[in-house]
Amino acid sequence: MRREQIGVAIALALAGAGVGAAPAAGQQAAIDTAATNALGRMGRYLGTLTEMQVTATITRESVLPDGQKIQNSANADLVAVRPNRLRVSVDGDRHQRLFLYDGKTFAMYAPNLRYYATAPAPPSILLLADTLEERFNIELPLVDLFRWGTPEAPTSDIRSARDLGPAPVGGVTCEHYAFRQDGLDWEVWIQRGEHPLPRRLVLNTLTDDARPQYTATYTWNLAPSYNDGSFTFVAPPDAHAIAFSQVQPVYAPGQQVRRDK
């Protein structure tokens, strides 16, 4: 499930206060303002965090041509210092990756393959994420934690929002919310109290009859340990440098691409 599905789904709920979607003919809209208000509060709180460590247990389903669903899992660990330092390691069924950003240079390393690549980087995490996606078709893991609460999409795509009540996630008391929009059902568990952190996220793609699912469970540390070396890549002696393969986005003649970040 690509970042656009996840990020846009959450961002359109966090971008504003009201939801003005018109229900389809014969269908009654079910918008619980407690749910949309909770998303707004979560997004605003995430935007105030200057440093964080997040570990995530992720499962995602893919669908084979014959319709069979296959599940893969991964563990991700992120340490970030806004605006311009980031370290993410991913250990999954399919691959292992290390992503490092020190405000000037981005590096990606595949420890099993012993290959790495580096590139000059822009001055913020969000600009880095945009650059990687547009130039190299690379998606930073967990980058949506930085996009939530930003006005990237209208809220009108949400068709329903529900507050399902309290539910624990990893021993932390959370409030469970469910949302629906065209092509996607999704849920988020938000920590109750003065630290409204997302603790669990579930997305179900409705455009595929197999309904593939993405799940992430988050553990937070708001006072991580780090130093400047934590975000700088030093190539191991036996590692091999390669170049990122650059992709060229195709736009209509005269079209301008706008990034509100």
**What CATH number is associated with residue 231?**
2.50.20.10
Q: Is residue 221 part of a domain?
A: yes
Q: Is residue 252 part of a domain?
A: no
Q: Is residue 214 part of a domain?
A: yes
Q: Is residue 60 part of a domain?
A: yes
Q: Which residues contact 4 (CB under 8 A, 6 or more apart)?
A: none
Report the DSSP beta bridge partners of residue 60. Answer: 72, 214
- For the chain, how many residues are written? 261
Q: Is residue 255 part of a domain?
A: no
Q: Give the CA diameter of the chain.
A: 66
Q: Is residue 236 part of a domain?
A: yes
Q: Is residue 222 part of a domain?
A: yes
Split into its structural domains, the chain has a count of 1
Rounded to whole angstroms, the Cα distance separating 232 from 229 reads: 5
pLDDT by residue for the chain (261 residues), tens only, comes to 444 444 434 443 333 333 333 344 334 458 898 998 898 899 999 999 999 999 999 999 999 999 999 999 999 999 999 999 999 999 999 889 999 999 999 999 999 999 999 999 999 999 999 999 999 999 999 988 988 877 653 456 778 999 999 999 999 999 999 999 899 999 999 999 999 999 999 999 999 988 999 999 999 999 999 998 999 999 999 999 999 998 765 444 444 443 433
Q: Is residue 40 part of a domain?
A: yes
pLDDT at 157: 75
| Cβ atoms of 240 and 114 closer than 8 Å | yes
Range of the structural domain that residue 185 is part of: 8-241
| Cβ atoms of 132 and 246 closer than 8 Å | no
